[in-house]
Amino acid sequence: MAAYDVNGTAVEHDEEGYITNLSDWTPELADVIAKAEEIEMDDERWAVVNFLREYYEEYQIAPAVRVLIKAIKKSMGPEVGNNKYMYELFPYGPAKQACKIAGLPKPTGCV
Protein backbone atom coordinates (compact mmCIF):
# COMPACT_ATOMS: atom_id res chain seq x y z
CA MET A 1 0.00 0.00 0.00
CA ALA A 2 1.20 3.50 -0.78
CA ALA A 3 2.37 5.86 1.94
CA TYR A 4 3.06 9.52 2.66
CA ASP A 5 6.59 10.42 3.65
CA VAL A 6 6.67 12.68 6.70
CA ASN A 7 10.29 13.54 7.43
CA GLY A 8 11.37 10.00 6.76
CA THR A 9 8.49 8.13 8.44
CA ALA A 10 6.02 6.41 6.18
CA VAL A 11 2.31 6.94 6.83
CA GLU A 12 0.11 4.49 4.97
CA HIS A 13 -2.82 5.64 2.90
CA ASP A 14 -5.43 3.95 0.73
CA GLU A 15 -5.75 4.17 -3.04
CA GLU A 16 -7.42 7.56 -2.76
CA GLY A 17 -4.96 9.11 -0.33
CA TYR A 18 -6.93 8.78 2.92
CA ILE A 19 -4.69 7.60 5.73
CA THR A 20 -5.53 4.11 6.91
CA ASN A 21 -4.64 4.53 10.56
CA LEU A 22 -6.35 7.65 11.85
CA SER A 23 -4.02 7.97 14.85
CA ASP A 24 -1.10 8.49 12.45
CA TRP A 25 -2.21 12.05 11.88
CA THR A 26 0.05 14.96 12.77
CA PRO A 27 0.00 18.58 11.64
CA GLU A 28 3.14 17.84 9.61
CA LEU A 29 1.29 15.06 7.85
CA ALA A 30 -1.49 17.49 6.99
CA ASP A 31 1.07 19.64 5.21
CA VAL A 32 2.34 16.63 3.29
CA ILE A 33 -1.14 15.53 2.24
CA ALA A 34 -2.06 19.05 1.26
CA LYS A 35 1.04 19.27 -0.90
CA ALA A 36 0.10 16.02 -2.61
CA GLU A 37 -3.30 17.58 -3.30
CA GLU A 38 -1.58 20.70 -4.64
CA ILE A 39 -2.90 22.82 -1.83
CA GLU A 40 -0.94 25.27 0.31
CA MET A 41 -2.10 25.25 3.94
CA ASP A 42 -2.89 28.69 5.35
CA ASP A 43 -4.81 30.01 8.37
CA GLU A 44 -8.18 29.64 6.71
CA ARG A 45 -7.53 26.06 5.68
CA TRP A 46 -6.16 25.26 9.10
CA ALA A 47 -9.33 26.62 10.65
CA VAL A 48 -11.31 24.16 8.55
CA VAL A 49 -9.01 21.25 9.29
CA ASN A 50 -8.98 21.97 13.00
CA PHE A 51 -12.75 22.22 13.14
CA LEU A 52 -13.11 18.95 11.28
CA ARG A 53 -10.80 17.23 13.74
CA GLU A 54 -12.61 18.63 16.76
CA TYR A 55 -15.95 17.60 15.35
CA TYR A 56 -14.67 14.16 14.53
CA GLU A 57 -13.26 13.81 18.01
CA GLU A 58 -16.73 14.36 19.42
CA TYR A 59 -18.95 12.63 16.86
CA GLN A 60 -16.75 10.06 15.09
CA ILE A 61 -17.84 11.42 11.73
CA ALA A 62 -17.25 14.47 9.60
CA PRO A 63 -19.83 17.26 9.90
CA ALA A 64 -22.33 18.13 7.19
CA VAL A 65 -20.97 20.79 4.87
CA ARG A 66 -23.57 23.19 6.19
CA VAL A 67 -22.52 22.63 9.79
CA LEU A 68 -18.90 23.17 8.84
CA ILE A 69 -19.66 26.38 7.03
CA LYS A 70 -21.70 27.69 9.91
CA ALA A 71 -18.88 27.05 12.31
CA ILE A 72 -16.30 28.70 10.06
CA LYS A 73 -18.62 31.64 9.59
CA LYS A 74 -18.68 32.06 13.35
CA SER A 75 -14.94 31.90 13.75
CA MET A 76 -13.65 33.50 10.54
CA GLY A 77 -16.54 35.64 9.30
CA PRO A 78 -18.94 35.28 6.39
CA GLU A 79 -16.29 35.99 3.71
CA VAL A 80 -14.67 32.68 4.54
CA GLY A 81 -17.71 30.86 5.88
CA ASN A 82 -19.60 30.32 2.67
CA ASN A 83 -19.99 27.47 0.24
CA LYS A 84 -18.24 29.12 -2.68
CA TYR A 85 -15.19 30.08 -0.72
CA MET A 86 -14.95 26.60 0.73
CA TYR A 87 -14.64 25.24 -2.78
CA GLU A 88 -11.94 27.78 -3.50
CA LEU A 89 -10.03 26.56 -0.47
CA PHE A 90 -10.65 22.92 -1.32
CA PRO A 91 -11.46 22.56 -5.01
CA TYR A 92 -12.44 18.90 -4.67
CA GLY A 93 -14.98 19.75 -2.02
CA PRO A 94 -14.71 20.62 1.63
CA ALA A 95 -16.22 17.29 2.62
CA LYS A 96 -13.83 15.02 0.82
CA GLN A 97 -10.61 16.93 0.31
CA ALA A 98 -10.54 18.69 3.66
CA CYS A 99 -11.32 15.40 5.39
CA LYS A 100 -8.40 13.80 3.67
CA ILE A 101 -6.02 16.50 4.89
CA ALA A 102 -7.52 16.38 8.37
CA GLY A 103 -6.88 12.65 8.49
CA LEU A 104 -10.55 11.70 8.68
CA PRO A 105 -12.05 8.77 6.84
CA LYS A 106 -13.68 9.51 3.54
CA PRO A 107 -17.38 10.34 3.76
CA THR A 108 -19.23 7.57 1.92
CA GLY A 109 -22.68 7.28 0.45
CA CYS A 110 -24.44 9.51 -2.03
CA VAL A 111 -22.37 12.54 -1.11
* Nearest C-alpha neighbor of 105 from the set 44, 16, 1: 16
Binding residue (CB under 8 A) for other proteins from 15, 38, 43, 79 = 15
Select the residue interacting with other proteins from 64, 74, 75, 77 (CB under 8 A): 64
Q: What count of Cα atoms within 13 Å lies in the side-chain half-sphere of residue 26?
A: 11
Q: Of 63 and 80, which CB lies nearer to other proteins in the complex structure?
A: 63
In angstroms, the Cα distances linking 77 to 38, 65, 72 are: 25, 16, 7
Q: Is 70 in the site for other proteins (CB under 8 A)?
A: yes
66 touches other proteins by CB under 8 A: yes
- Footprint of other proteins (CB under 8 A): 15-16, 59-61, 63-67, 70, 83, 87, 93, 95-96, 105, 107-111
